[in-house]
Amino acid sequence: MNINELIESPEKIHDIVSGNVKRVRKEKNISQLDLGEDIGLSGNAYIARAENRVKGHHFNVEHLIKIAKVLDVEIGEFFKGL
């Protein structure tokens, strides 16, 4: 995607980031519950909603930084495909 396409479709950015978080989490064999707890949440609901883009939920930068640390990946991994 080029920059103009991204500007016109922010939802596409969230879809790609969410899909990449889900992919990496599964590759690392970490459950949504464990990931949620490891980044300071009380359960898996936020992770599940953001990964599956339920009602427009998405990850924020603070969470992406924490998730990258827990999954031991560079944060750029979540932006592959943009």
Residues ≥6 apart with Cβ < 8 Å to 23: none
pLDDT in tens, 39-73: 999 999 999 999 999 999 999 999 999 999 999 99
Q: Report, in angstroms and rounded to the nearest whole number, the Rg of the chain calculated over CA atoms.
A: 12
Helices of type H across the chain: 3-8, 10-27, 32-38, 45-52, 61-71
Query: Residues for the chain: how many in total?
Result: 82
Contact 67, 35 (CB under 8 A): yes
For each of the domains in the chain, give its residue range(s) and CATH number, in order of start.
Answer: 3-79 (1.10.260.40)
pLDDT tens-place string over residues 9-38: 888 899 999 999 999 999 999 999 999 999
CA distance 6 to 57: 18
